[in-house]
Amino acid sequence: MRTAMHDPFSILGIETSTPAGGVALVGRNGHCMAQDWWQDNRPVSTRLMRSIDSIMQFCLKESMSPTAVSTTHGPGTFTGIRVGLGIAKVLALNWKIPLYTCSSLRALAGRLEHPDCLVCPVLDARRGEVYHGLYETRGHAPPQPVRPDEVTSIHTLLNNLLRLERREIWFSGNGSILHRDLIESRLGGRARWSPAGLGLPSALSTAIVGLNAHLSGSNSTDPMTAAPVYLRPSDAEKRHRVMLPVHWSKS
């Protein structure tokens, strides 16, 4: 905590893609300065603003302010993503600091403290589907995508994984917990599981993604154009499309 007074650099991380969300503040060395975490189904907007206020009270006490803000843009719960990204954009604009956004699956993959492995983060997308990605970790570098994030059935995901070279695959996320028996029956000993406490999204890992991006000189995200990445349309969008008039082309 005391190092914050000598080095005011910090990244504010916001995670709201699942009911397990929160806010975290990390320093230049990646150590957590302050964190507020929750796991329930109460309105995310209320919980998020209280958490940010708590973190900002810490910043005020330490005579510092965030250097940048980092958040996930999806996939995940539609309302949670929209609220978290919206507030992150407002903070970046008001504070005139960079905004960094990343996949919630990539941030989840980054929680696994294994130096060299394949990580498959899986989130429950309901309707019999899962959001999933496949990432490679090497040393202490951020996880790199092996293939784009997708939303499919768990059976499609497992069929695709079975076609890969016979390597161990580490699973994390509530979707993998939900389908653990099926995953183990299909992949057998190739399936490995994140340690307890590292299988859910975390504002801390989201902040770390932003920290790595900022220190490496990566381009930040324009708050004016940053948008959620849902991977599939929401129910409201589907209803809206149905209600739109059909325009027939002239033959």
* Domain total in the chain: 2
Check whether residue 69 and residue 128 sit in a common domain: no
Check whether residue 55 and residue 79 sit in a common domain: yes
Task: Please list the alpha-helical segments (H only) found in the chain.
Answer: 3-6, 44-61, 78-95, 104-109, 154-162, 174-178, 180-187, 203-215, 235-243
CB contact at 8 A, 13 and 23: yes
Indicate the residue type of 31: H
Check whether residue 9 and residue 57 sit in a common domain: yes
DSSP lists the bridge partners of residue 153 as 129
41 within some domain = yes
Domain termination site, one of 168, 193, 218: 193
For the stretch 38-89, pLDDT in tens is 887 777 888 899 999 999 999 999 889 999 999 999 999 999 999 999 999 9
For the stretch 107-118, pLDDT in tens is 999 988 777 889
| The predicted structure's pLDDT at residue 198 | 77
Between 97-101, 139-143, 150-154, 174-178, the lowest mean confidence (pLDDT) is in 139-143
Check whether residue 97 and residue 148 sit in a common domain: no
Torsional sign, CA 195, 199, 203, 205: positive
Check whether residue 85 and residue 118 sit in a common domain: no
**Residue 204 DSSP SS3:** helix
Q: What is the C-alpha to C-alpha distance for residues 194 and 120, in angstroms, rounded to an integer?
A: 10
Q: What is the C-alpha to C-alpha distance for residues 72 and 205, in angstroms, rounded to an integer?
A: 10
The helix (H) or strand (E) run that includes residue 198 is none
Check whether residue 33 and residue 118 sit in a common domain: no
The CATH number assigned to the domain holding 46 equals 3.30.420.40
Tell whether the model's pLDDT for residue 234 goes beyond 50: yes
Q: Which domain holds residue 171?
A: 112-193
Binned at pLDDT 50, 70 and 90, residue 238 comes out as low
170 within some domain = yes
